[in-house]
């Protein structure tokens, strides 16, 4: 909604500090509210049992084996977090140029989803559709002679969405940025009677430097050939983000996402205002790492900057936030 700016306001009849003078006045005039209902917790899964492996570039974030993951997600669920995302770090030996492990119904991710949904049916589970955790080339689509093939990748993405839906995944998150994927994934979900499985499209996903720690977590950084600039968006553009979101919505996306979050708050606002659909921000691994690293050396107060960051997404218009801070934020929000 357009705000009416009153140019007639002036000092001393207007004193802006009156509404800030104490806690009750600030609470009363507060415009943006962050709640645990806004949080989506991204997690990483590895093979084994009883495993909890540190991710060096993401202090406080771990790769868990399926059994431990269930217990960790239970904590998130008990804190009131509505949705978790699960990303697999599979055995290097299973990564191939055709990323065939992505469509194996018994791959690590599908087993994790099945187990989580069986033990914790009340928690929402989301999975990425993209080939990078499964590809020996580290790309989201099929790689051939330095090119990422668009149309050849689409049937694999559809098959990947189907094995995830069969495993019990509630929300499919196409994060690959191939053209036309949302429409084709929606059609194959529908053909296979997965009418209730939602799609949260990574609509405006930028070719960003902030994904580095994530690529360490899923083990794709050392494999990655070149960069992702021929399919992920140019950070200088925002008209393009509107077109991407519009196409995804037309193709059947139930929700859209902007990624990364903090450097693209303007894009979140634009897309929310243009389309009025549920809009999410991905506060990505590099954004998380910045706050953690600076707070660990005592340069920032972690809880303050974390809540300030998450609130900024809501103020920009996001309905929710994928964030590695989710559990820590939920704990604080619950106490207050």
Which amino acids are annotated catalytic?
205, 259
Of 140 and 170, the one with the shorter C-beta distance to ligand PBG is 140
Pair of tokens at residue 222: 């050392």
Kindly write down the DSSP assignment for every residue of 215-236, as one continuous string: HHHTT-TTT--S-STTTSBPTT
User: Which residues are 149's β-sheet partners?
Assistant: 142
Residue 214 as a binder of ligand PBG (CB under 6 A): the answer is yes
Closest approach of Cβ 298 to ligand PBG, in Å? 25
Structure tokens at 301: 């107060």
Does 164 help bind ligand PBG (rule: CB under 6 A)? no
Nearer to ligand PBG, 128 or 244 (CB): 128
* Residue 196 Cβ vs ligand PBG, minimum distance, rounded to whole Å: 23
**What is the chain's Cα-based Rg?**
21
Smallest separation (angstroms) from ligand PBG to the CB of 285: 3
Question: What are the start-end ranges of the H helices in the chain?
Answer: 23-29, 66-78, 108-119, 154-167, 181-191, 212-217, 239-250, 265-275, 285-296, 302-316, 326-335
**Binding status of residue 244 toward ligand PBG by CB under 6 A:** no
Choices 99-107, 114-122, 211-219, 271-279; region in contact with ligand PBG by CB under 6 A: 211-219
CA 240 to chain centre: 20
Query: What string marks each residue from 107 to 136 as x (binds ligand PBG by CB under 6 A) or -?
Result: ---------------------x-x-x----
Residue 164 Cβ vs ligand PBG, minimum distance, rounded to whole Å: 14
Show contacts with ligand PBG in window 220-239 (CB under 6 A): 228
CB atoms within 10 A of CB 319: 17
Pairing state between β 279-283 and 255-259: parallel
Residues 134-163 binding ligand PBG (CB under 6 A) are 140
Residue 280 as a binder of ligand PBG (CB under 6 A): the answer is: no
Cβ-based burial of 158 (10 A; exposed 0-12, middle 13-18, buried ≥19): buried
- Contact footprint for ligand PBG (CB under 6 A): 128, 130, 132, 140, 175, 211, 214-215, 228, 284-285
């Amino acid at each position: 909604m357009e705000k009416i700016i009153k140019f007639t306001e002036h000092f001393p009849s207007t004193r802006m500090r009156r509404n800030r003078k104490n806690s009750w006045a600030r609470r009363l005039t507060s415009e943006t509210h962050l709640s645990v209902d806004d949080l989506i917790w991204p997690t990483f899964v590895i093979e084994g049992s009883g495993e909890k492996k540190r991710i060096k570039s993401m202090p406080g974030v771990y790769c868990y084996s399926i059994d431990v993951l269930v217990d960790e997600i239970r904590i998130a669920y008990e804190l009131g977090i509505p949705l978790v995302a699960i990303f697999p770090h599979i055995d290097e030996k299973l990564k191939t140029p055709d990323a065939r492990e992505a469509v194996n119904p018994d791959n690590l991710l599908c087993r994790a989803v099945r187990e989580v949904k069986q033990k914790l049916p009340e928690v929402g589970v989301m999975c990425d559709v993209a080939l990078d955790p499964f590809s020996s080339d580290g790309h989201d689509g099929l790689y051939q002679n330095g090119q990422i093939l668009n149309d050849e990748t689409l049937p694999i993405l559809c098959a990947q969405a189907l094995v995830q839906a069969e495993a019990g995944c509630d929300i499919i998150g196409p994060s690959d940025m191939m053209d036309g994927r949302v429409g084709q994934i929606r059609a194959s979900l529908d053909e296979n009677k997965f009418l209730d499985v939602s799609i949260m499209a990574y609509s405006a996903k930028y070719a960003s430097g902030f994904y580095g720690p994530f690529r360490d977590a899923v083990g794709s950084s050392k494999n990655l050939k070149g960069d992702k600039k021929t399919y992920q968006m140019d950070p200088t553009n925002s008209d393009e983000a509107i077109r991407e979101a519009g196409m995804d919505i037309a193709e059947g996306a139930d929700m859209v996402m902007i990624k990364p979050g903090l450097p693209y708050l303007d894009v979140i606002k634009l897309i929310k205002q243009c389309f009025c659909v549920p809009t999410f921000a991905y506060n990505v691994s590099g954004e998380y790492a910045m706050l953690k690293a600076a707070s660990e050396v005592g340069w920032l107060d972690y809880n303050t900057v974390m809540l300030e960051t998450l609130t900024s997404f809501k103020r920009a218009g996001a309905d929710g936030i994928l964030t590695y801070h989710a559990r820590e934020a939920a704990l604080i929000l619950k106490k207050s």
